[in-house]
Structure 1
Amino acid sequence: MSSEAATGGLNGYISHHLTHNTIQIGSGFNFDSWIVALVLGLIFVMWFGSKARKATAGVPSKGQAFVEIILEFVDGQVKDTFHGDRRSVTPLALTIFMWIVFMNTMDLIPLDLPGWLVQTVAGAEAAHHTYFRVVPTADLNTTLALSTSVFFILLGHAIAAKGGFGFGKELLTAPFHAHGPMAIVMAPVNLLMNIIEWLVKPVSLAMRLFGNMYGGELVFMLIAGLMASWFTFLPGIIANAAWAIFHILIILLQAFIFMILTVVYIAGAREGH
């Protein structure tokens, strides 16, 4: 464990690792989450772009075959869920799935590796005062940014499918369809219900992903506390390995859930009540 644990105990260790590298822009900008997410997104684009440019019709390389397996898996999920034109939906689903998998996988990096790198380069004092969280999806700002982007994409699909007038009419007339004077009375109720329904989608997407990844990160920190003592060091190693293996399932499952719910929401946005 790092020197934080030795000097401040487990609480100090966890507190240090839960602190973001924040730039004071407005209420604060978590630079570490942003830069890690950006780098991982660029890696995904360059990796898949490179395989797409080098793709051959003959016997594919192992790298091309792996990318094709992922693409076919995502496209199959989209095909089963969304029955319209998939040309824009499948690339979106692929991007969401792979980007979130990349960001979630950062949780498997040893907790003290960033601190060790800083300490190696700049010394122990610099490492003690340097904060850098490497799991972007354990930051609520990241998951809210992703879900907000999905929210506006859903609005775009709804308006594209129904037109501005049709979408506005649906907000005022569904889910409680009424006629005559009652339609006017029920319009505010319908509008309120639709606003709640639309806002719940991005909030639930963000909170589900954030909650699972934040909880997983916290468990790694608690397990790391076992390694502070020689008596519990070996149990800590075993517990850490077991949790890491189980966490791989969480990493993939949370990315899949975010992706498939996005596709389900798009399909629902294009359909009428």
Structure 2
Amino acid sequence: MILEKILDPQKYISHHLNHLQIDLCTFKIIMPGTFSSHFWVLNVDSIFFSFILGSFFLIIFYIIGRKVTQNVPSKLQTSIELIFDFISTNVNSMYQGKNALIAPLSLTVFVWVFLMNLMDLVPIDFFPFISEKVFKLPAMRIVPSADINITLSMSFGVFILILFYTIKMKGFIGFLKELTLQPFNHPIFCIVNLILEFVSLLSKPISLGLRLFGNMYAGEMIFILIAGLLPWWSQCLLNVPWAIFHILIISLQAFIFMVLTIVYLSMASSKSHEN
């Protein structure tokens, strides 16, 4: 179904939008077009590629770190040093205070999200063809950041850090004061303040995850539409320019996710105001 001529573009597009899913209650693969009656369903392809890309990032940076030299560096070492300088400059300019976790976290977020986004440039039929013909799998999607479960999971991790540093720096009482005494500093408005601040607090991880998902899903969808609706001889005329432009989107989305992570943690780590 992948590279064969498909007369119905709708089937081709829907096929490429299906995840490789496993029902954790029955441990069976969910076939495309069917739905599980259970809640616990895993998108195995997104988890697998997220793990592979994260491991690739850690291994490469670990090897270069062990072989770092003060003499003439290799091209790969130079590239990694440029990434380190780029991350360090942004952290120093946006994060107020000192925290040994922020720079490594920012580096991890930027590189990991960038690698996940970069999978969008792989030809859309390549991995699905291999998975179907070699491993007999019914579906395969390879862009983890185009899966809302992955992006919201990452943003939820950032949200946990926001709560942790807010309570650590301001105390639990100070955290409650922020929720109940802002923006209207009067006890009579406690409920109103709580509703407003809770929505504002909850919007941070939701917007962080949805922004990345929306942009990457849209980019993937355009590649699928080009492949599914146009004849093969005209696809390169649109695929190549869109892929070149998409490189900017890939980098920009990774940068935005990193910057917002730093900004949110900087706000959480700032000292409380007197009310």
TM-score (norm 2): 0.89
- 2:83 & 2:60 partners in 1: Cα distance? 13
The amino acid that maps onto 1:218 is M
Q: 1:2: which partner in 2?
A: 2
Aligned to 2:214: 211
1:146 is the counterpart of 2:159: no
Q: Tell me if the contact between 1:78 and 1:86 (Cα under 8 Å) persists in the aligned partners.
A: no
The percent identity for this pair of structures is: 43
Deviation at 1:174, TM superposition (A): 1.6
Q: What corresponds to 1:176 in structure 2?
A: 184
What are the residue-to-residue correspondences of 1:34-49 with 2, within 5 Å?
Answer: 34-49=47-62
Q: What are the within-5 Å matches in structure 2 for residues 161-200 of structure 1?
A: 161-178=169-186, 183=187, 185-200=188-203
Contact preservation (8 Å) 1:226, 1:235: no
Which of 202, 222, 234 does residue 205 from structure 2 map onto?
A: 202
Decide which moves more: 253-262 or 233-242: 233-242
Gaps of 5+ in 2: 25-38
User: How far is the alpha carbon of 1:52 from its aligned partner?
Assistant: 1.4
Find out whether 1:17 has 2:7 as its counterpart: no
Partner SS for 1:29: strand
Q: Does 1:160 align with 2:162?
A: no
Q: Could you tell me which of 218, 224, 227 is aligned with 2:227?
A: 224
Judge conservation of contact 1:105–1:251 (CA < 8 Å) in 2.
Answer: yes
Distance in 1 separating the partners of 2:195 and 2:63: 47
Report if the CA contact (8 A) 2:132-2:138 is conserved. no
CA displacement 1:79-135 (0-9 Å, x = unmatched): 11112114210111110000000000000111111132235536xxx4xx6201000
1:190-241, Cα deviation, whole Å (9 max, x unpaired): 21111111100001011110000000000001111255x3xxx332111001
Give the match for residue 85 of structure 2. 72
Cα distance in structure 2, aligned partners of 1:8 and 1:150: 45
Instruction: Find the aligned partners of 1:149 and 1:255 in 2 and give their Cα distance.
Output: 16
Question: Which one-letter code corresponds to 1:196 in the other structure?
Answer: V
Of Structure 1 and Structure 2, the greater helix share is in 1
Conserved in 2, the CA contact under 8 Å of 1:226 and 1:236? no
Equivalent position SS for 2:70: coil
What is the correspondence of 1:242-261 to structure 2 with a 5 Å cutoff?
Answer: 242-261=241-260
| Partner AA of 2:210 in structure 1 | M
In structure 1, what is the Cα distance between the partners aligned to 2:132 and 2:165? 49
- Cα pair 2:155 2:209 within 8 Å, conserved: yes
Q: Name 1:133's counterpart in structure 2.
A: 141
The question of whether the paired residues in 2 share the 8 Å contact of 1:106 and 1:134 is answered with yes
Q: Any idea what the Cα deviations from partners look like across 1:19-47, whole Å, max 9, x if unmatched?
A: 00001123411000000001100111111
Question: 1:79·1:86 contact (CA, 8 Å) conserved in 2?
Answer: no
- What is the aligned residue count? 258
| Matched letter for residue 191 of structure 2 | P
Q: Contact between 1:82 and 1:264, CA under 8 Å: does it hold in 2?
A: yes
Worse-superposed segment, 210-219 or 22-31? 22-31
The unaligned stretches of length 5 or more in structure 1 are none
Greater Cα offset, 84-93 or 146-155: 84-93
Q: Which residue identity is paired with 1:202? A: P
Matches within 5 A, 1:51-130: 51-121=64-134, 126=136, 130=138
Partners in 2 of 1:209 and 1:73 — Cα distance? 21
User: Which residue in the other structure is 1:235 paired with?
Assistant: 234
Backbone CA RMSD of aligned residues:
1.7
Q: CA deviation at 1:266?
A: 0.9
In the TM superposition, residue 244 of structure 1 has moved relative to its aligned partner by 0.5
Q: 1:86 to 1:64 in 2, by over 3 A?
A: farther
TM-score by length of 1: 0.89
